[in-house]
Amino acid sequence: MIRYIFRRLLQAVPTFFGITVLSYILMSASGNPVQVLGFRPDSGREEQERLAKVLGVNDPWPIQYLRWLLGDDWMRWDSDGDGVADRSFILPLDADGDGENEPPGKRLGAVRGDFGNSFVKKRPVLELIFERLPSTLELSISSLVVGASLGLLIGILAAVNKGKRFDNASRVLAVVFDSIPAFWLALMLLLFFGSNLKILPIGDRCKLTLDDSCPPIYERLEYMVLPVFVFSTGLISGYSRIMRASMLDVLGQDYIRTAQSKGLNRRMILYRHAARNALIPIATFLGPAITGLLAGAVVIETIFNYPGVGKTLFEAATSRDYPVVMASVIYGAVATILGYLLSDIMYAWIDPRIRFT
């Protein structure tokens, strides 16, 4: 198992860098951030060029990508021995447009943990991401636990009561909630429970305070009811349908009929023998579920004004804040790769017959 995990992690390296290259190309094709950040009716061409130099977006995208990935200190050298980098392979030395050469080592690059500063907020990107990561993890993990628990339970009960009212109702509701767009459901719930009934907050993570801090999660559960519900509906629908189909297949196996003929307790047959084997296909759904939670966080966090990574990514994309967008892409890529790896590990944990070589 350890060798398999190590090999999968090595195979994920080219995939990871491929994601960063493709994301940088798409981001560069979206337009120059100077047009958004430095737009003023009286701004001239020289001022826009100076701002482009300050942001480092005046070069072709391959050079920008290398500078973002590897930094710029390795691209410069001191040719006359005066301690100042006065030569560069490909980068302009006047990075801030003041007419003077810059010292080496301004950027270390993403591979060394330096994602630069946000164009808009003027703060280190990693500081922004880690500041908002707890909110996203709080929302995503809560939704995954609620969605998986209820989905598996509903799927088992629907299979056991095949053809009865509960089974029919659960299948209809699964299709309905799986078909409703998350943003529309979120807006309708905000309108009904927040604006009309006024029994739940219409947004935010907690009650706003001067020190911008939130109490523990158990003291602000009312703020999580609507976003967690919207988040988990898709998971409940998916898990319940997959679990029902898998459970029905397992209940028709010979060993289940043998256990029933021997007079074993029905609850033991259902939950110890049948349910565990029916969980094997569920492991396949775990990887995409984690990815979906991260992708859905952009929509849900924006609608509910939840201060997480998803809302930060949306704001960065609309303002063309390249460093924040790329850091968020890496965050999502790593979570996706680890999610699919976790799915494979769960295969072996659920079914001891599976061996990885």
Question: Using CA of residue 249, residue 250, residue 254, residue 257, what is the dihedral sign?
Answer: negative
**To 10 degrees, what angle do helices 165-179 and 125-160 make?**
150
100 and 166 in one domain? no
Q: Is residue 356 part of a domain?
A: no
| The length of the chain, given as a count of residues | 357
143 and 105 in one domain? no
Q: Is 325 exposed, middle or buried (0-12, 13-18, 19+ CB in 10 A)?
A: buried
**CATH number, position 305:** 1.10.3720.10
279 and 214 in one domain? yes
129 and 107 in one domain? no
Q: Is 122 left (phi over 0), alpha (psi -120 to 50) or beta?
A: left
Intervals of the chain under pLDDT 50: 41, 77-78, 90-93, 95-97, 101-105
pLDDT score for 185: 92
Q: Is residue 211 part of a domain?
A: yes
Contacts of 84 (CB under 8 A, 6+ apart): 78, 101, 103
251 and 190 in one domain? yes
The three-class DSSP label of residue 243 is helix
Number of domain units in the chain:
2
Q: What is the pLDDT of residues 254-309, one digit of tens each?
A: 888 888 888 888 778 887 778 878 887 777 777 777 777 776 688 888 999 888 88
143 and 95 in one domain? no
pLDDT score for 137: 86
The three-class DSSP label of residue 9 is helix
pLDDT score for 204: 86
The three-class DSSP label of residue 124 is strand
Please say whether the beta carbons of 242 and 250 come within 8 A: no
Q: What is the pLDDT of residues 4-53, one digit of tens each?
A: 778 888 888 888 888 889 988 888 887 777 766 655 545 567 776 777 77
pLDDT score for 154: 93
Q: Is residue 106 part of a domain?
A: yes
pLDDT score for 297: 81
- Write out the two tokens for 226: 């609507």
d(C-alpha 88, C-alpha 86), whole Å:
7
Domain boundary among 78, 112, 146: 112
Q: Is residue 319 part of a domain?
A: yes
199 and 95 in one domain? no
pLDDT score for 208: 74
Q: Is residue 1 part of a domain?
A: no
Q: Is residue 13 part of a domain?
A: no
Q: What is the pTM of this model?
A: 0.78
Range of the domain at 189: 125-350
